[in-house]
Structure formats: C-alpha cells, structure tokens
Amino acid sequence: EDQVTQSPEALRLQEGESSSLNCSYTVSGLRGLFWYRQDPGKGPEFLFTLYSAGEEKEKERLKATLTKKESFLHITAPKPEDSATYLCAVPNQAGTALIFGKGTTLSVSS
C-alpha cells in the first residue's frame, strides 16, 4: 500500500535556527512528490514539486530535496512567518489523487 510518512510531527525552532523536515514514501513508480504549506483555517498552498532523485528546488528560506526513498524540506534561518503545517504528498498509483502525510507543524519563535 502506498504510504507517506512525515517526521517530526511537530518542530519548535528559534528564529534563525535552521532545520529539516522529513518525508519518506513507499510508492512504486513515483510520479512526483509535492510539498504544501497549510496555515490554520486555510487550504494547502502549493510550494514545490520534485520528480527525480537529486532534484532540488528553492523558494526564499525553503529548499526541497529528493532521494529515491525520501524528501527533505530544509528551512534556513526561519522567521516566525514560516510557522505553519508542512504537508508532503505523492500521487496514488492510478494518478487520480494525492496521498498526503500527516504533516509537520512548525513553530518559529522570535
């Protein structure tokens, strides 16, 4: 069964303290790995798509990387406005929907 596992469930950082979030997946024939950001009371907001091992994408303080079994979302010198839940997802085998992990809730304090 296709699965997506994210760790840690929650992460508390001080402003400027860099860290990484992990997303491991078990799906045959990966057709993309997606990162979303979700703020409280809002819908998931698209961040990145990665397709092949070794691929990296960056946006402001965020950088996403992909290996054959997992993806990392690196957060460099985070600010309080980076506080949110970060969701990782992969398409199901039929390509008809996304399978989401349970997310990592990031809190950045000043």
Binding site for other proteins (CB under 8 A): 31-32, 34, 36, 38, 41-46, 49, 85, 87, 89, 91-92, 94, 96-100, 102-103
- Closest approach, Cβ 43 to other proteins, in A, equals 4
Residue 44 or 78 having the CB closest to other proteins:
44
> Which residues make Cβ contacts (< 8 Å) with residue 43, sequence separation at least 6?
none
- Tell me the C-alpha to C-alpha distance, in Å, between residue 75 and each of 52, 59, 91: 21, 10, 24
- Closest approach, Cβ 38 to other proteins, in A, equals 8
Residue 46 or 110 having the CB closest to other proteins:
46
Q: 26: which DSSP letter?
A: E
Residue 37 or 108 having the CB closest to other proteins:
37
In DSSP terms, which residues pair with 93 in a beta bridge?
Answer: none
